[in-house]
């Protein structure tokens, strides 16, 4: 029980350096557990770090598994988060120190208005990979793709997918 309570206490810390000190000095934590928690903190730092945000992008495309979706087309909504270090751009106020939102928008537009895909998972994956391939500064990307007009019984804002990809996923 002592280990469980200690892990909960460590996990709630906001200051990573304090957590690392506690981890380093904790004799009862196994090596594997320490490594797991270090990796978790690195992941959290990336997830909660600087990012470019694109919300509410709207496109008309012909994606879907049903023949009528591919024939008639439909509206798609997209949200994108792209993690990268924005400190230099914040200091210099130069566009050259960041990635322009418009280039990411153009990638999403090209994918959504381009060749049809059966699944939204494939559409989101293509946006994520193209974004990181074209912009080496981007460390990770989250892409949401939704269909606002779906054949379900009941009101919905949209149904869709959300994926999260890291740069390390490109080589896998």
Sequence-ordered list of residues with C-beta below 8 angstroms from that of 150, at least 6 positions apart, any chain? 156, 158, 159
SS (H, E, C) 14-51: CCHHHHHHHHHHCCCCCHHHHHHHHHHHHHHHHHCCCE
Q: Has 147 been annotated as catalytic?
A: yes
Catalytic residue among 51, 126, 144, 147: 147
Sequence-ordered list of residues with C-beta below 8 angstroms from that of 14, at least 6 positions apart, any chain? none
Q: Find out whether 66 and 117 touch, Cβ atoms under 8 Å.
A: no
Three-state secondary structure call for residue 166 = strand
Query: Which active-site residues does the annotation give?
Result: 147
């Amino acid at each position: 029980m002592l280990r469980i309570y200690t892990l909960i206490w460590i996990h709630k810390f906001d200051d990573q350096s304090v957590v690392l000190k506690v981890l380093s000095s904790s004799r009862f934590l196994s090596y594997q557990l320490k490594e797991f928690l270090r990796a978790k903190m690195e992941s959290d730092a990336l997830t909660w770090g600087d990012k470019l945000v694109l919300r509410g992008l709207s496109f008309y495309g012909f994606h879907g598994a049903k023949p009528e979706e591919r024939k008639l087309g439909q509206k798609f909504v997209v949200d994108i988060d792209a993690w990268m270090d924005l400190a230099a751009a914040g200091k210099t106020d130069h566009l050259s120190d960041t990635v322009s939102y418009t280039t990411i928008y153009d990638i999403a537009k090209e994918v959504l208005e381009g060749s049809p895909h059966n699944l939204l998972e494939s559409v989101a994956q293509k946006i994520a990979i193209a974004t990181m391939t074209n912009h080496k500064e981007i460390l990770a990307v989250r892409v949401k793709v939704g269909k606002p007009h779906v054949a379900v019984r009941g009101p919905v804002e949209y149904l869709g997918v959300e994926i999260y990809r890291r740069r390390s996923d490109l080589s896998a």
